[in-house]
Homo-oligomer: A and B are copies of this chain.
């Protein structure tokens, strides 16, 4: 294989090809530390043309490649397999903001730009790039696009898919497709953009994108509502949207178990209510007008919810610090889980109208199969997206419980599918959920996906073993 690596070095220089164990190590283990692969080399191109030349070299030598951004994915989509025959192609050096157009409200960026860097560059022009998620300090937009990442602003602004107008892609043949269009309307043939978005690098390598920007809201305000059940949370969502329309920018469900866990693991965080409630909803309202408008709108809607018995109590943040404190409760749930030990995670989505029924039906099924197991159920209820995690019964070790992972997945995912939901809401499929995908998707859908994969990547060199 020296021929291949020599060719790569001729393209990107010696510094652009890492093949020493120590140099490659950070690129080979997934973010959750669950799997470490092997690689022939890690390639670090510095331009789109170098990406294209490297892909041509891979095609010539039939070397499979794994595109990688910030390597913060949760489904083993951006790490190589154990064979040692694959190369990692890191987009990290492609990290320029190419252009910002505040009148068109678009921004053209390299795929390797860190999400936070993009948010900050937009803000510097008085604009908002709304994508926001826990890994924003280290994930890249290329990874966000390739996994169609979600996050906390989807309710108002959509997933990454809805925030992208155009793409630049290196095809599996090593050609460059320049689809960097900044257009709100463009009906000229098949929607290749959306085919590459969410394809997890299996159809080509995203090297650049035109992103949508929005006006910065003038003010945001946060509240925490207490409710007796998930069914009440569904009602609250309808009520809030009817009252507030697009001003409702956040709607996060958290069970009592979640907030109790946070309180145990992070006792310094605020405790908004003196007594516990069964469920909580974190609400965020944003106004394009003023803080007074946001406060008035929120208080009016909360008043209506209290009056109709949809919520039992609520606290409205009266300062930026208080807003941040309420969001910290939400953001500390995954951290509190990690401190408490490993659990079996599910990133699922459902029709919003079926969430309460799903929760009511699935808990007893898990309890019957795994008596005493503990449910950590929270998430972006406004998008129908739950993080439905199953922790060991008290007194059972993580190791003893995690052997049940496949069985737990089957119970949860069977229930998700029965309620019309999806087994991967915002994390993607990667290698982790590949078998689950094959289990649940219809043959018609799988066959169409395979036909597209074979048509665009006939050599099968683009991130093989992921998705399909």
Residues of A within 8 A of B (CB): 101-106, 147-148, 150, 154, 158-159, 161-162, 171, 175-179, 181-192, 194-195, 197-199, 203, 214-215, 217, 234, 237-238, 241-247, 287-289, 297, 349-354, 380, 383-385, 420-429, 433, 437, 440-442, 444-445, 448-449, 451-456, 467-468
> Contact between A189 and B437 (Cβ–Cβ < 8 Å)?
yes
Of B103, B288, B385, B444, the contact of A184 (CB 8 Å cutoff): B385
A241 neighbours in B (Cβ, 8 Å): 105, 215
A353 neighbours in B (Cβ, 8 Å): 101, 103-104
Could you list some 16 contacts between A and B, CB below 8 A?
A102-B238, A103-B238, A158-B162, A176-B444, A177-B442, A181-B422, A182-B420, A183-B351, A184-B383, A184-B384, A185-B349, A188-B440, A192-B448, A246-B288, A451-B455, A452-B456
A177 neighbours in B (Cβ, 8 Å): 442, 444-445, 448
> Contact between B106 and A179 (Cβ–Cβ < 8 Å)?
no
> Contact between B422 and A186 (Cβ–Cβ < 8 Å)?
yes
> Contact between A192 and B445 (Cβ–Cβ < 8 Å)?
yes
A445 neighbours in B (Cβ, 8 Å): 177, 179, 189, 192
Task: Give 19 new A-B contacts, CB below 8 A, not counting A185-B380, A188-B429, A448-B456.
Answer: A102-B238, A106-B351, A154-B184, A175-B444, A177-B442, A182-B351, A187-B426, A188-B424, A189-B467, A190-B195, A190-B452, A192-B448, A192-B449, A214-B245, A243-B288, A243-B289, A289-B297, A452-B452, A455-B455
A198 neighbours in B (Cβ, 8 Å): 187, 189-191
> Contact between B428 and A104 (Cβ–Cβ < 8 Å)?
no
